[in-house]
Structure 1
Amino acid sequence: METVKLSTIVLTFSPELYPLLTPDELESFIVLKYGLQSLDKESVIEIVEASIERNKEKDAWVH
């Protein structure tokens, strides 16, 4: 297992996505079961999507 920041994953595999993410999203820690070398572009997209969803839920307002 390996723990890395989302920013490291994005810069390594999909640097074009970097400017689209918030600082909080980029600073998120991601635990990779099989390490950074096991990722592919599709996995990175899934991780980014999950991170965005998690941050949206965290920032949601309840009325």
Structure 2
Amino acid sequence: MSWKAKILKKISLYIEIVSVLEIDIKRRILKPGDKLPPQRELEDFLDVNLSTIKKLEM
């Protein structure tokens, strides 16, 4: 599965990405065992810096 977030860029980007992840988990769009795209792919798709994506690891 290739998960793609719908980011509005209204708040801190990494907080918004985490929020979208949480919503998609609760909606069961993301299920146990699903893999997210690689960091570089997320960076490109979401049009954010790699440092923003790396904040998600914290």
Between Structure 1 and Structure 2, which shows a larger proportion of strand residues? 1
Same fold (TM over 0.5): no
Q: Normalising to structure 2: TM-score of the pair?
A: 0.36
Between Structure 1 and Structure 2, which shows a larger proportion of helix residues? 1
Q: Normalising to structure 1: TM-score of the pair?
A: 0.33
Structure number with larger C-alpha Rg: 1
